[in-house]
Structure 1
């Protein structure tokens, strides 16, 4: 099983939410977890791009990565 790293601040907010039932940090917890999930997806797409078995799959992963990154078609090679 892979391990993930999160910031100490996010960890403390999660602890307060789950153990102390403090719900005022819920929006920042949600934002932090969404940011982490986006980073994981981007890393996965980049890895697929670099390790794709065929040129077609590599190009598909590259396009998806650049689309999610928000890179304009004008700036792509």
Structure 2
């Protein structure tokens, strides 16, 4: 299983919620986890783009990655 790194801010927010039971940090935790998930998805698409066995699969993964990062179609090559 892979390890995943999170920011120190998110880590402390999780500690506050689980150990001290402060519910005010829930929006911060949700945002931090969503941002981390998006970064992981982008990284997976980029890796797939770089390691795909065929040119077709590479191009498909590249287009998915560019779409995910918000690159406008007119700026793509």
Under TM normalisation by the shorter chain, which class is it? over 0.9
Q: For residue 9 of structure 2, what is the aligned residue in structure 1?
A: 9
Give the ranges of 4+ consecutive aligned residues of structure 1 lying more than 2 Å apart after TM superposition: none
Task: Specify every segment of 5 or more residues in structure 2 that has no aligned partner in the other structure, as ranges.
Answer: none
In structure 1, how many angstroms separate the alpha carbons of the residues matched to 2:22 and 2:55? Answer: 50
Aligned pair count reads 77
**By how many angstroms is 1:8 displaced?**
1.1
Q: Normalized against structure 2, the TM-score is what?
A: 0.95
Q: For residue 62 of structure 2, what is the aligned residue in structure 1?
A: 62
In structure 2, how many angstroms separate the alpha carbons of the residues matched to 1:72 and 1:4? Answer: 30
Q: Normalized against structure 1, the TM-score is what?
A: 0.95
